[in-house]
Structure 1
Amino acid sequence: MNYSRRPTRDRQQSTYGSIMKYVSLLMVLLYFGFGLYVLLSNPQQIPFPKEYKYILGGLLLFYGIIRFVRAYQQYFKKSRRYDED
């Protein structure tokens, strides 16, 4: 028997996981970039009062940071239960 090949389901899950890793990083960049855009835009680009722009931009930056931390913990941080071996 050949045990070196993974079953098809494991291969599909690992492909899905690697795609989701890059999609989550793309979303982090989009939230962070849009937050910076809202904060640094002039009044002609986004006609909101300054207070609303600061709130919206700050929330987008904060949510981008939260998404980054979650993506890092889920996809990039090694599991500690395997470190005992």
Structure 2
Amino acid sequence: MLNIPTTEERLGKSPQRLVHYFVLFMALVYVGLGVWLWVSAHEPSDGGIINMGTNARRVLGSVFILYGLVRFGRAYHVHFRKKTPSDDHE
């Protein structure tokens, strides 16, 4: 059988590493969407992309911001935290 190197061997990187950064990027997208909704609540609604009242935009924006922060914290904890010997027992 031919000994053809895999993509991971040729590149020296794991595709999983890209996923780690994508998860962080998506968390920042959620936070950014929440900030945009919160800021746009002060502007009068002209029937644009999202036609909601001021309070609904603020509540939804707050939910997106909180979700993005929780997701960012969880992704950092899972993918980027240094492993310690006590982590093996969890």
TM-score class, shorter: 0.7 to 0.9
> Displacement, 1:25?
1.3
Counterpart-to-counterpart distance in 2, 1:51 and 1:24 = 29
The answer to whether structure 1 residue 56 and structure 2 residue 55 are counterparts is no
Counterpart-to-counterpart distance in 2, 1:81 and 1:66 = 25
- Structure 1: runs of 5 or more not aligned: 1-7
Counterpart-to-counterpart distance in 2, 1:29 and 1:69 = 11
The answer to whether structure 1 residue 28 and structure 2 residue 32 are counterparts is no
TM-score for both structures, normalised by structure 2? 0.69
Partner of 1:81: 85
Counterpart-to-counterpart distance in 2, 1:51 and 1:15 = 45
Query: Aligned-pair RMSD on alpha carbons?
Result: 2.3
Question: How many pairs were matched up?
Answer: 73
- Structure 2: runs of 5 or more not aligned: 1-5
Question: CA offsets per residue over residues 34-77 of structure 1, 9 Å max, x none?
Answer: 11111111223443111111110000000000111011101111
SS of the residue aligned with 2:21? Answer: helix
> Displacement, 1:28?
1.1
Question: CA offsets per residue over residues 4-57 of structure 1, 9 Å max, x none?
Answer: xxxx6x86xx61321111111110111011111111112234431111111100
Higher helix proportion (structure 1 or 2): 1
Q: Share of identical aligned residues, percent?
A: 29
Counterpart-to-counterpart distance in 1, 2:68 and 2:14 = 24
TM-score for both structures, normalised by structure 1? 0.72
